[in-house]
Amino acid sequence: MTVFSRVAAALAAALWLAAGAAAADDSYPSRPIRFIVPFPPGGPADITARPLAAKLAEAWGQPVVVENRTGAAGMIGTDLVAKAPPDGYTMGISVAADAITIALYSHMPYDTLRDLKPVCTVSISPFILVAHPSLKVHTLGELIALARKKPGQIGFASGGVGLPSHMAGELLNWRAHINLLHVPYKGQGPATADVLAGQVPLMFISTMNGLPFIRAGKLNALAVSTPQRLAAAPEIPTMAEAGLPGVEVSTWLAILVPAATPADIVHRLAGAFERILQQPDVRALQAAQGADAVFEGPDAAAARQRADIVKWREVVKAANIHPE
């Protein structure tokens, strides 16, 4: 075989392989997809992931298998996604607390920004800053004024160190130049119970848990932690409207894939989730959990993730927070 013949044969083989790869891409998905949830069954991430998986399976005609791979603040399951083959057949769900984890832990088994790629945001839910009536504050301004008179004497509850409800309080401390005392609990349930009992007077509470108590007069709503008011409670001002811009905290959920996943597969996944999130039953299910079914594409989801990482690194440093 001549040199020319060998080159021609090699070129033909390369073109054949390229055509095969294109055909394989066009057939995606052609087998089941793993959907890794790095948190236990029954939690917000799991409750959101399972209906989305069912809808995606229905739309694409391929099984989408949810796997709960828990442990190490979500790092075990997320590490599986980061190290999976970048072929579109493994994806995971990420939560806002992942950005806090990056700020808290100096050693992780993966690099979030290098090893993972956001596909889209699928859910956003705000917090409401609430006060027990015994504190006798009805506005954010009144709380800040009281906190400045009593530094370190007014507590705020959270479900644990490093959770968004904790970090929201630390962000409030930082922006308002006050010193509310963090009182961590082992879970949101016990924290909420003690706030309702007046044992701890303040908390950043989820909308789903907080609104019934606010409407019953058991808690005073001071502000919401998102740039827009809540559709379900438009009478509650935002933090910025209450006089303190820069305190924006939300619990978001996003879909992640390995970083080297081809762009066309990422966009196919994003398009599928965008259509799913427009369905009324999906939106109603998320609303029942106190969340909004919000779609943000790959670029917007990545920008939200990066902004949260920067913000929480600053807060962790300013408040000298260490993981338990």
Q: In this predicted model, what pLDDT tens digit does every residue of 162-190 receive, in sequence order?
A: 889 999 999 999 999 999 999 999 888 89
Q: What is the mean pLDDT of residues 198-203?
A: 98
What is the rounded CA–CA span in Å between residue 12 and residue 114?
35
Whether pLDDT at 17 is above 60 = no
pLDDT confidence bin for 212, thresholds 50/70/90: very high
User: Is the distance from CB of 114 to CB of 256 less than 8 angstroms?
Assistant: no
CA angle 218, 220, 223 (to 5 degrees): 145
CA atoms within 13 A on the CB side of 310: 6
- pLDDT value of position 89: 98
Q: What is the pLDDT of residue 10?
A: 45
H-helix segments, 90-130: 97-104, 112-115
Residue spans per domain, the chain: 32-124+250-319, 126-224
* 310 pLDDT above the threshold of 60: yes
Instruction: Return mean pLDDT, the chain.
Output: 90
Average pLDDT over residues 135-161: 96
CB-based contact 92:36 (threshold 8 Å): yes
The fold adopted by the segment(s) 126-224 is: D-Maltodextrin-Binding Protein; domain 2 (3.40.190)
CATH number of 32-124+250-319: 3.40.190.150
Check residue 11 and give its pLDDT: 45
Out of 27-36, 92-101, 265-274, least confident range: 92-101
Looking at residue 16, its pLDDT comes to 37
**Same fold for the pair 32-124+250-319 and 126-224:** yes
Number of Cβ atoms within 10 Å of the Cβ of 270: 21
User: pLDDT-based confidence at 25, cuts 50/70/90?
Assistant: low
Q: What pLDDT band is residue 102 in, cutting at 50, 70 and 90?
A: confident
What is the residue-wise DSSP string for 122-177? Answer: EEEEEEEEEE-GGG---SHHHHHHHHHHSTTTSEEEESSTTSHHHHHHHHHHHHHT
SS3 51: helix
Sign (positive or negative) of CA dihedral 301, 72, 180, 191: positive
